[in-house]
Structures are given as structure tokens and as C-alpha cells.
Chains A and B, each alone.
Chain A
Amino acid sequence: MRRPTLVLAAIAVVILAWLSWRMLWPSDEQRIHRRLQAFAADFNAGTTEGLGTVTRAAKIGSYFTDDIVVDLGPGTPPIHGRDTLAGMAARLQPRTAAFTVELVDITPVVHDDGTADVSLTTAFKRQSLATGEESIDARELALKMKKVGGEWRVMRVTAVSAFR
């Protein structure tokens, strides 16, 4: 093989090895990122069947700690507890089939005590079934996450306002 080809092949091998390493042994930051994306996927996977709704509520609940608190700011009373939150999330989807959530700009900071602070933007997309028009309601959230049984779970959600 010629020298430039060898150099290119070596670079490709290094990149592949690095990607494999990241995939097989992800850091806590990557685990948090994947966990939150998995939550969004489960949240968006709507079902209208009775048993499916229960399963979905349990699945959504597995992303939170038992004592989760959701504080969306002034004017909205805080939501306490995993069961309350999972039930609300599960009931929301079947009524509004054209409602999806996207989590973007996820930035986790992991601490030594097994917790992490995460900032992210949630984009709630609604598509009108009548007109097809799409609207987005975006919110910045600050999450406190905790590693429980090897899995990262959300223990606190606080809305952050860009405006004072």
C-alpha cells in the first residue's frame, strides 16, 4: 500500500476504535444523554389501548425517583411524586396524538456524590389535526438527576425563564 493510503487507513482505524470505545463504555454524561432521549421516545410512543396505557405509565415512571418534584414556576403548583407525574404523562398522549416532545441541548454536569445537574430545552410540538399547522412551545429546564440502581433518574425538574 502507498503511504497516503496507509495514513488514511490508520486514521480510520483510530476513529473506529474511539467510536467503539464510546459505544461500549459510555461515560455518565453519555448515559444521561441516552436516558433522556429514551424518555422522549417512550413519551412520544402513544397508545390508546387500556393495558398499553398502564405499561406506558410504568415505563415513563421508571425515569423518575419516587420523590420527584416538578416545579414549573409561578402560577403552576408543583407536582410531587412519581405516580402522579407518570399518570399525568400517560393520560396526556392519547388525547393529543399529534403532540410530541423533543429534548435538545442536553448538557449534563456529573458530581462525585452520584448526582448530576442537567440543563436542556424541551420543545413541545403540537400539530393541528385539522389544519396540519405546527406550533412549538419551548422551555428551558434544569434537572437534578440521581443514579439509582445503576440507572440515572430524574429527581427534580425546575423551569428556567430566559426573561426577568
Chain B
Amino acid sequence: MASYTAAVPLSLTRRIIFGRDPRRTAVRVIALAGVAFITFTWLLTPIRTQGDSMLPTYRSDTFNLVNRLSYAVGRPSRGDIVAIRLAGPSVVYVKRIVGLPGERVTFVKGVLHVNGTPLDEPYVRHRRAWDTPELTLSPQEYYVVGDNRGMPAGGHSFGAVDRGRILGKVLF
């Protein structure tokens, strides 16, 4: 009697963990792990933002995904928020594209000018009087900057980046 009552929860546990057909369950788990590995390594890179340079759009310590295929066909465009790789994809900068190849970009008293015309940036809340020399972008370069212009320019990483450093578009 005792052995009978003990056998019931054991088989239930086994069935919950391994399923009705353990071999089929194993195949499903391996397939799922494979799909997750491919997706999160080459297609959608998970990132956790750190720092205040993208405020108010992104706060520090928020989770997001980078679509690595977003520019497989099309080109990056103005306003896109992109991930920029350093030596590899493990640590990235998250910035907004504000200047396109061939354009001239400069900050005058905190206002971004592209080809001599001030750019309307509704996503910027606070501005400091940043001043930068005019930069002409090469055919392979994009100008990127964070949305938080309320911080000193010296504490903010921004400028022209090579197209090859753009990992993909930030999804959300």
C-alpha cells in the first residue's frame, strides 16, 4: 500500500518534466534551445541600457532588443535609434542617428544644424549650449548622438561613426 501511494507522485513528476514521450520532449527542448540561440545571437541581440545619455527616451537599466537584420536591405535613416558596437557586440552604445552620409553636422549653442539648417528634435527635452566644429560626413559615416543634451558635452559620447559599427536598430 505504501509503495503504491509513493509511486503515484513520482510518475506524475516524471510526466510533468519529461512529458508523455521523453524522446520527443528531448527533441523539442533541443530544437527550442537551438532556435533561441540563433535568434538571440544573430537576429535579436538583448541589451540592458546603462547610463543617462538617452534620457528621456531610455532610462538606465531598461531591457531592449537590437534587430540585427534591420539594415540588411535598407539603409539607416535619420531618427533611428541604433546600437553601435565597440570591439564586438557585447558592449554597445545606444544613440540616435541625426546626420546621414555626405551631410555637414554641427552644434551651435546646443542646437543641432544639418547642412546649415537647424534640425527639429522633439525628443530633446533639455539642452546645454554645446558647440562643436562642423563635420562633413564621408559616404560611409553617420552622425549619432544621445537624446540627453542636458548633460555636459564632455561626458557624452557622440560623433561620426562608420556604417560597419552600426549593429542594428533598437526595437522598442
Contacts and interface: CB of A to CB of B under 8 A. Distances in A.
A120 interface: yes
Interface string B69-88: 00000000000000011111
Contact of A163 (B85, B88, B91, B161): B161
A77 B50 CA distance: 28
B159 to A, nearest CB: 3
Given A136-B51, A138-B86, A164-B135, A105 B91 contact: yes
B99 to A, nearest CB: 12
B150 interface: no
Interface residues on chain A, size class? 10 to 19
Choose among B84, B85, B86 the residue with the greatest number of A CB atoms under 10 Å from its CB.
B86
Contacts of B158: 163
Contacts, number: 52
Nearest to B144: A163
Main secondary structure of the interface of A (DSSP, over half): strand
A135 interface: yes
A88 B50 CA distance: 27
A94 B165 CA distance: 36
A158 interface: no
A163 B158 CA distance: 6
Interface residues of B, number: 20
A104 B85 CA distance: 12
B159 A119 contact: no
Choose among A106, A121, A160 the residue with the greatest number of B CB atoms under 10 Å from its CB.
A121
Contact of B50 (A104, A105, A107, A135): A135
B89 interface: yes
Interface in A105-157: 105-107, 119-121, 123, 134-136, 138-141
B90 interface: yes
A-B pairs, 7 with minimum CB distance: A105-B88, A163-B159, A104-B90, A140-B86, A164-B160, A121-B87, A105-B87
29 contacts: A104-B87, A104-B88, A104-B90, A105-B87, A105-B88, A107-B87, A107-B88, A134-B50, A135-B50, A135-B51, A136-B50, A136-B51, A136-B91, A139-B86, A140-B86, A140-B87, A141-B87, A162-B93, A162-B157, A162-B161, A163-B144, A163-B158, A163-B160, A163-B161, A164-B135, A164-B141, A164-B159, A164-B160, A164-B161
Interface of A: 104-107, 119-121, 123, 134-136, 138-141, 160, 162-164
